[in-house]
């Protein structure tokens, strides 16, 4: 039985005071470990948010990570830095970086390998553009993103991997995938993952859905057998709506 996992991606929002009070509100609303829960604040708030969440049932993730252990990489952070900031997770390949900043698959692959090797759990995002869905290329796109992004990942790293399916047309648009679309695509991702890493690993893989998840649609989507949680953007910026989504996962 896979445990549901809800992560909040705060993107480039919140002030320091706002981040701390949001983290506190989430910690107060999540009172046990029935669902795995994490928040991913902006990098500059990782340390103070991790401080607020110490001893709570809520983990911390970074929104990005570099693949190198150290070096001349202006503006980047290594997996060890992210870990030492108090994180257990790192989002990799979010569409706002994959498409928005044209991060190549090869980079994402290196990041997944480096992050998992360092002990972080990678939340590896995949998803098709609207034009790709309309052209019936969704499966081909996802197959490629999974094969390229996870190439050469060692069996020992699979326990440190979560896949987030985020159809790009659903991110921040209010257009959520129907439960049937989500199930069909998650089923395909699990099957594809099974071809890459075997059926047992596929049966254990946590696959989050992301894209306009709100308190009023979360339960219906997460009821689908292959939907193991959610990566939440907008609705994670208010403690009460995020906590409601966590409750919907129970």
Binding-site ranges for ligand PGA (CB under 6 A): 9, 166, 171-172, 210-213, 231-235
Which ranges in 127-178 belong to alpha helices (H)? 130-134, 138-149
Compare residues 197 and 210 and give the one whose CB is closer to ligand PGA.
210
Compare residues 30 and 231 and give the one whose CB is closer to ligand PGA.
231
Compare residues 166 and 226 and give the one whose CB is closer to ligand PGA.
166
Compare residues 9 and 185 and give the one whose CB is closer to ligand PGA.
9
Q: How far is the CB of 71 from ligand PGA (least distance, A)?
A: 28
Q: How far is the CB of 69 from ligand PGA (least distance, A)?
A: 27
Q: How far apart are the first and last CA of the chain?
A: 13
Give the bridge partners for 60, in sequence order.
39
**Is residue 245 a contact partner of residue 213, using CB atoms and an 8 Å limit?**
yes
Q: How far is the CB of 211 from ligand PGA (least distance, A)?
A: 5
**Is residue 6 a contact partner of residue 230, using CB atoms and an 8 Å limit?**
yes
Buried (b) or exposed (e) across 125-154, using 16+ Cβ within 10 A? bbbbbeebbeeeebbebbbebbeebbeebe
Compare residues 62 and 78 and give the one whose CB is closer to ligand PGA.
62
Q: How far is the CB of 173 from ligand PGA (least distance, A)?
A: 7
Active site residues: 94, 166
Q: How far is the CB of 41 from ligand PGA (least distance, A)?
A: 14
Q: Long-range contacts of range 140-147, CB-CB < 8 Å, 24 or more positions apart?
A: 142/185, 142/188, 142/189, 142/192, 143/192, 144/105, 145/93, 145/105, 146/189, 146/192, 146/193, 146/196, 147/192, 147/196
Give the number of other CB atoms < 10 A from CB of residue 235: 20
Separation CA 130–CA 213 (nearest Å): 18
């Amino acid at each position: 039985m896979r445990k549901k996992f809800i992560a909040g991606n705060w993107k480039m929002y919140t002030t320091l005071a706002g981040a701390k009070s949001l983290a506190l509100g989430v910690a107060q609303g999540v009172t046990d470990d029935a669902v795995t829960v994490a928040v991913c604040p902006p990098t500059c708030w990782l340390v103070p948010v991790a401080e607020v969440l110490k001893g709570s049932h809520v983990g911390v993730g970074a929104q990005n990570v570099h693949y190198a252990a150290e070096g001349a990489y202006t503006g980047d952070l290594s997996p060890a830095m992210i870990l030492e900031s108090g994180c257990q997770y790192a989002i990799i390949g979010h569409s706002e970086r994959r498409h928005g900043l044209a991060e190549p698959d090869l980079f994402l692959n290196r990041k997944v390998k480096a992050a998992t090797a360092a002990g972080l759990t990678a939340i590896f995002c995949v998803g098709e553009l609207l034009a790709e869905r309309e052209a019936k290329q969704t499966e081909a796109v996802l197959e490629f993103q999974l094969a390229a992004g996870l190439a050469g990942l060692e069996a020992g790293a699979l326990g440190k991997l979560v896949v987030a399916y985020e159809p790009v047309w659903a991110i921040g648009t209010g257009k959520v995938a129907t439960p049937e679309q989500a199930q069909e695509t998650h089923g395909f991702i699990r099957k594809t993952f099974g071809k890459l890493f075997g059926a047992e690993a596929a049966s254990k893989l946590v696959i989050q859905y992301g894209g306009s998840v709100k308190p009023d649609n979360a339960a219906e989507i997460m009821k689908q057998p292959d939907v193991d949680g959610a990566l939440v953007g907008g609705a994670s910026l208010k403690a009460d709506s995020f906590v409601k989504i966590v409750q919907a996962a129970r």
